[in-house]
Amino acid sequence: MKLLIKGTCLLLAATIVISCATVPLTGRRQLSLVDEGEIQQQAALAYKDFLGDSKTKVVKGTSQAQTVQRVGKNIAGAVTRFLQENGYGDQYDFSWEFTLVDDDQINAWCMPGGKVAVYSGILPVTKNDAGLATVMGHEVAHAIAKHSAERMSQSIIAQAGGAAVDVATSEKSNTTRAVLNTAYGLGGQLALLSYSRNQESEADRLGLVFMAMAGYNPNEAVGFWERMAQAKQTQGGGAPPEFLSTHPSDARRINNIQKLIPEAMGYYKK
């Protein structure tokens, strides 16, 4: 039994070492066990289904919709230049789409492959083009850093590790097994939350660079996140303790962004 567990652990360790990729700019090594091309194909289908859903109200032809398109194209152009200038151009084949959705949610997202949705509810918080560029740069950064693929890969390893724990405790009492598996599950969950917070911070860093290259002053990002924090308080949504949250606390995020601005200003082109 011990040999089986040891072999499983060695196999997992070898898989982790072999299956790694590098995030542009940050240089962080990340786990990559899934095919990015397949994820992008599925994302494109999901995006199409989302836009075609009767509950989704796509906004076209308005000044706000045109703003989303304009800022989105500027960010996409900056991302393309950044990737080409840093030797990553051949690793990305994005088909960009930018859509404004009539929805009161304060939200925006970017699927793998460059499928972006901006909810109208976030526009009062963005206030201007630079604020919108902050949001879109951040969300696009998640796709460029392939965070979705990384999270899927982490889940695969977590599930494999959980199976190993279950085998290792098969001869223990039901109570002992329950305690051990619960401890493993909680530990694994907190580890994944930590990874998610790291990904958020990484997206902040990349997003600042992208908005700067697109011609938007990175200093404007601080104001946006301050407004976002205020909007959350106005809505009455209590934030969980940071160690149990997938996002950094508002104060920590704003503080980190202020530290990252000098780097981003090196890319700023008015």
- Active-site residue set: 139
Grouping H, G, I as helix, E, B as strand and the rest as coil, residue 266 is coil
Cα angle, residue 239 at apex, residues 117 and 108 outer, rounded to 5°? 5
**Cα–Cα distance measured from residue 30 to residue 41, given in angstroms and rounded to the nearest whole number:** 21
Q: How far is CA 165 from CA 4, 160, 179, in A?
A: 11, 9, 11
Q: Please, which residues have CB within 8 angstroms of residue 33's CB and are 6 or more apart in sequence?
A: 15, 19, 152, 153, 156, 157
Number of H helices, E strands in the chain: 9, 6
- Secondary element (H or E) of residue 31: strand 29-31
Task: Give the count of alpha carbons within 13 A of 80, CB side only.
Answer: 12
- Cα 111 to Cα 12: distance, rounded to the nearest angstrom: 28
What pairing do the DSSP bridges indicate for beta strands 58-59 and 97-101? antiparallel
> Using the 8-state DSSP alphabet, how is residue 217 labeled?
-
DSSP 75-96: HHHHHHHHHHHTT-GGG-----
Closest Cα partner for 211 from 179, 257, 172, 173? 257
